Amino acid sequence: TGGYSQSPFSPMLLIIPMLAILLRESPLHFAGYAAAAALLTSLLARMPRAELELNPLHGQASALVTWSCLALTALMGYVTRPTL
């Protein structure tokens, strides 16, 4: 495979917190899933890639966008979560 950066399934890590909200998990579980997604994303993104040889800032920019999307998705999902 092409690794994390080339995989079509890597964005699925970012929707785990949203799925936790839709499944009405507790806020503690939601926070755990969000933390696990952030940890896995950061660990997998550290793998060497060819783009980094051409532009060393590519990895930092990609990490910033990925973490921002995860944070925004988690915040919007938590704020708009269904309540019983």
Does pTM top 0.85 for this prediction? no
pLDDT of residue 8: 63
Cα–Cα distances (Å) from 19 to 14, 38, 81, in that order, read 10, 15, 11
Model confidence pLDDT, tens digit, residues 19-77: 888 788 888 998 898 899 888 877 777 766 565 566 667 667 777 777 788 888 788 87
